[in-house]
Structure 1
Amino acid sequence: MDIYLKFVLVGLSIALPVGAITVEMTKQGLKNGFFHGWAVGIGGMTIDVLLILALYFGLAQILSLPYVQMPLWIIGAGFLFLLAYDSIKNADQDITLAGEKVNKSIGKTFRNGLLVAVSPGNLVFWVSVFGAVLADSYSSSESSSFIIAALGILTGILLHDIGLLAVISMTRKVMNKQMIKWTSIVAGMLLFGFGCYFLYEFYLDVQHYF
């Protein structure tokens, strides 16, 4: 239980800083409500679960190789640029105010969460956070520690997402379409900035290894 609670706090602390997932969740939450924002978070957590399974079955060393991470910087940047373009171009589209019927598909917002989460930063996080726990998980006496830690972090992220979206849902009630439109534009600019950061990290890796 101590391990679980400790990693719940780790999950909360990791989720608190504003990242690409938080930006996309906020945008979708404001434009289409709580469940659309949460669909982004669930999409991100789906990638997290897959990474946890990959680490558990011994792929941590592969994921940490620079020749594996470097192409992912480009892929991640490409996904973020696409989302940024869509966020700015369609800033005034698919906006439903509180109490109105939502027409946008939950599946599309879930997909956005998947795309944002497929990034080297996410991979590096899971490899680094679970490095020590992964080593312990191979011994029979500590075989459950990795899973407990993973569940703790996922719980922390989930609590953060629900809390954030609850605040967004209340804020949405006092916002008009023009305010939400400009929020979407700002979100697109932030996603573009994260994409540029990924390209910069790719450039640094190329300089370092070549």
Structure 2
Amino acid sequence: MLVLLFSSILLGLSIALPIGTISIEMIKQGLKNGFMHGWSVGLGGMTIDVILIILLFVGLAPILTIPFIQVPLWIIGAIVLFHIGYDSIKNADHEITLVGEKSAKSLKSSYKNGLLVAISPGNLVFWVSIFGTILSNSFDSSNIFNFFIVSVGIIIGILIHDIGLMAVVTGARKFLKPTYIKRASIVAGLVLIGFGCYFLYKFIDSIPMIMQRS
């Protein structure tokens, strides 16, 4: 059991390590408003991860692989990332909290950003296609406990990554001037808009396939 849990934790770390939209938003919020705000973004993303695990458990996740479901998700994801990216650039010099000051931004707002960024086709398809297979293989109606161990291990791995990332970011934040934090926010916004452009491309590219099937 311990071996299964440990390997699942490593698996969770491997999920979270690649820099994606959630990590970018976490870093931005961590630099501007501190540890808890960055971590709140990560908790928002983890909420979607847990929901997807539950969907996998009850067998509903394959619905997300249906083209008629996926295509609208691409454009929704693009719109969300365009909005968050634009907001990041527009307000790059706003809501910067210096070390020792209390942030005016609410944790609920950071958590909501994490939810919105996580509800993207890239994240959903990644979970369903790759880790859906792993979790499905660990599912056995006669031994549901294995599925539970694997799921918990993956979430712990993601949690360890998020806490470690925020520890590094908030440590670096102590030595950064507001000007550099502003620039980092602009870069983060451009990266998110870049992801949004990719999602928009995937939406446009998927339309002919849907037209052929209809």
Structure 1 length as normaliser, TM-score? Answer: 0.94
* Secondary structure of 1:41 counterpart: helix
- Structure 2 match to 1:175: 176
Q: State the 1:135 CA deviation.
A: 4.9
Aligned-pair CA distance for 1:153: 1.0
Contact 2:138 2:150 (C-alpha < 8 Å) held by counterparts: no
Report if aligned partners of 1:38, 1:162 keep a CA contact under 8 Å in 2. yes
**5+ long unaligned stretches in structure 1:** none
Write the distance in 2 (CA, Å) between the matches of 1:76 and 1:143: 33
Name the SS for the 2:93 alignment partner.
Answer: coil
Question: How many equivalent pairs are there?
Answer: 209
Q: Choose from 119, 131, 134 the match for 2:133.
A: 131
Give the corresponding residue for 2:29: 28
The correspondence of residues 1-210 of structure 1 with structure 2, limited to 5 A, is: 1-128=2-129, 129-140=131-142, 142-209=143-210, 210=212
Q: Structure 1: how far apart are the matches of 2:102 and 2:11?
A: 37
**Identical-residue share of aligned pairs (%):** 56
Structure 2, unaligned runs of 5 or more: none
1:138 CA drift (Å): 4.3
- Distance in 1 (CA, whole Å) between partners of 2:161 and 2:61 is 26
**Aligned Cα root-mean-square deviation (Å):** 1.4
Pair 132,42 (structure 1): closer, same or farther in 2 beyond 3 Å: closer
Contact 2:52–2:61 (CA<8 Å) still a contact in 1?
Answer: no
Q: Which moved more, 1:178-187 or 1:194-203?
A: 194-203
Contact 2:41/2:114 (CA < 8 Å) preserved in 1?
Answer: yes
- Contact kept, 8 Å, 2:52 with 2:127, in 1: the verdict is yes
1:138/1:204 CA distance change after superposition, 3 Å: farther
Q: Distance in 1 between matches of 2:48 and 2:182?
A: 29
Amino acid at match of 1:57: V
C-alpha separation between the residues in 2 aligned to 1:130 and 1:50? 12
* Equivalent position amino acid for 1:18 in 2: I
Deviation of 1:96 after TM superposition, in Å, equals 0.8
> Does the CA-based 8 Å contact 1:34-1:169 persist in structure 2?
yes
Write the distance in 1 (CA, Å) between the matches of 2:92 and 2:105.
14
> Which segments of structure 1 move beyond 3 Å, counting only runs of 4 or more?
207-210
Q: Normalising by structure 2, what TM-score?
A: 0.93
Q: Deviations over 1:57-100 (max 9, x none)?
A: 11022122111111111111111111001100000000011112
Is the contact between residue 135 and residue 151 of structure 2 (CA under 8 Å) also seen in structure 1?
no
CA offsets 1:95-134 (integer angstroms, 9 cap, x no match): 0111122111111000000000001111112212122432
Distance in 1 of aligned mates of 2:9 and 2:182:
34
On the 8 A contact 1:133/1:145 being kept in 2, the answer is no
